[in-house]
């Protein structure tokens, strides 16, 4: 159990032995993302992930613990492009103000992530799983809260920064649902730059504007 | 097959005969909404709807045709509160301008629909079904396009009115997903009026503002 290698077991086939090594974890994670994306949370099993990664199921437990833990790790990898928003927040906009134009940069970043099928497919799988399974929703809730929205909210100088960050996230998730899942026209075929142009003021308002009088 | 009553069949049990009448259609529709809400689109069957409505399955086919047709009818009933937006659009805001304050009135209306469990439950069932089943997505796509967004877009005096109406719908759907399904805090526990206050400028911008320079 040391050095990231798995325990040896008697009588295991050669492919299991060959599977051990520093990138076994990465291969299991790849297999897990594919399984969750194709089958959804409910129908994905630890055994199925192990089979897809050509390793013993005990190795999946060794590296990740429970199915929820593998799902959380898969979410984390799938959200990596989205997490680049921290870098975006640290860029400076016009006049050296980090929040100048942040709405447009953020909208462009998110639409870019969703436009790329490589990042879109696992994100859609996560959204679908979380909408239909409470365990998956709990994992996403914990992850989204802990990593994505808290980081964003920490950069904002407005009242209710977390609530505003979530309303911005809600705008982008809703667009993803209508454009890529339900495929409602004209949104489904709209030019990505046109969407960015229309959505940028919405995000900018959540991130920087003082709230209107109550 | 006339006067909205079903054909008589020999040897049917008394409860089927008793089920015939002017409100049979309404009772089947109620049962269908409950079945779709509880089981989702995939697991709902015409036979199950018939059983829940205490009628013969042939009656369900008689009144509605296919499963997709029942689903479309159930969507239509579930979206009735949302369709009240036409009335909202025809109210006049400040200074006799129908679009003055429309963002706030619309946000308050939608949050009100989602806050009421009676209207929320079937709407959530529809969103879940459409996210996981292509046939359900197609029905929602057709319905949303035909009824809800075209009506709204027709009232707007902006470029790209349909696209803007859909971006506003995306904002509200995203809020529903994060608040009621994923239950991300602080959005899940936020005061509905606070959400309306923060979201109103977003909708107002989509419905009335000229687009920012490209």
Compute the half-sphere exposure of residue A210: CA atoms within 13 Å on the CB side of its CA. 3
Ranges of each domain in chain B: 14-65, 79-208
Model confidence at B86, pLDDT cuts 50, 70, 90, reads low
Q: What is the pLDDT of residue B83?
A: 66
Q: What is the pLDDT of residue A167?
A: 95
Q: Between the CA of residue B111 and those of A36, A142, B9, B142, B199, what are the distances in Å?
A: 32, 24, 47, 23, 10
How far apart CA A34 and CA A52 sit, in angstroms, is 9
Question: Smallest CA–CA separation between B153 and chain A, in Å?
Answer: 12
User: Which residues of chain A are under the pLDDT cut of 50?
Assistant: 1-6, 8-19, 211-214
Indicate the residue of B178, B186, B212 with minimum beta-carbon distance to A197: B212
How far apart CA B187 and CA A147 sit, in angstroms, is 16
CA A159, A163, A167, A169 torsion: positive or negative?
Answer: positive
Neighbours of A107 (CB within 10 A): 26
- B14-65 CATH choice from 3.20.20.140, 1.10.3720.10, 2.60.40.10, 1.10.10.60: 1.10.10.60
Q: Between the CA of residue B182 and those of A8, A63, A98, A161, what are the distances in Å?
A: 41, 27, 30, 19
Of residues B187, B158, B4, the one with CA closest to residue A144: B187
Do A24 and A37 contact (CB within 8 A), yes or no?
no
Interface test with B, best of A111, A170, A202, A203 (most B CBs within 10 A): A170
- Under DSSP, is residue B150 helix (H, G, I), strand (E, B) or coil? helix
Q: What is the pLDDT of residue A83?
A: 66
Q: Which CATH class is domain A14-66?
A: mainly alpha
- A79-208 CATH choice from 3.40.50.300, 1.10.150.120, 3.30.70.20, 1.10.357.10: 1.10.357.10
Write out chain B residues lying below 8 Å of A173, CB-based.
Answer: 174, 177-178
What secondary structure does DSSP assign to A175-204, as a single string?
HHIIIIIS--TTGGGS-HHHHHHHHHHHHH
Token digits for B120? 């929320």
Percent of chain B's residues with pLDDT above 90: 31
* pLDDT tens string A48-98: 999 999 999 999 999 999 998 898 888 877 777 666 766 777 676 656 676
User: B125 pLDDT exceeds 90?
Assistant: no
Size of interface A-B (CB pairs under 8 A): 155
How far apart CA A154 and CA B190 sit, in angstroms, is 19
A79-208: same fold as A14-66? no
How far apart CA A72 and CA A55 sit, in angstroms, is 20
Compute the half-sphere exposure of residue A96: CA atoms within 13 Å on the CB side of its CA. 0
User: B202 pLDDT exceeds 50?
Assistant: yes
* pLDDT tens string B14-72: 444 444 566 899 899 989 988 887 887 888 899 999 999 999 999 999 999 999 889 88
């Amino acid at each position: 159990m040391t050095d990231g290698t798995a325990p040896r077991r008697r009588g295991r086939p050669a492919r299991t032995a060959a599977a051990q090594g520093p990138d076994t974890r990465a291969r299991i994670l790849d297999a897990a993302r594919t399984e969750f994306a194709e089958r959804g949370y409910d129908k994905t099993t630890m055994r199925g992930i192990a089979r897809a990664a050509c390793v013993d199921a005990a190795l999946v437990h060794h590296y990740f613990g429970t199915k929820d833990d593998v799902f959380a790790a898969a979410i984390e990898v799938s959200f990596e492009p989205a997490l680049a928003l921290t870098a975006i927040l640290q860029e400076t906009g016009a006049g050296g103000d980090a929040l100048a134009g942040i709405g447009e940069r953020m909208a462009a970043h998110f639409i870019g992530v969703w436009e790329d099928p490589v990042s879109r497919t696992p994100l859609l799988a996560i959204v679908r799983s979380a909408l239909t399974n409470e365990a998956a929703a709990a994992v996403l809730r914990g992850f989204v809260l802990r990593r994505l929205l808290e980081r964003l909210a920490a950069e904002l100088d407005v009242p209710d920064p977390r609530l505003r960050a979530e309303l911005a996230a809600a705008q982008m998730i809703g667009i993803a649902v209508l454009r890529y899942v339900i495929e409602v026209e004209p949104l489904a075929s709209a030019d990505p730059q046109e969407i960015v142009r229309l959505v940028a003021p919405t995000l900018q308002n959540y991130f920087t504007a003082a709230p209107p009088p109550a």
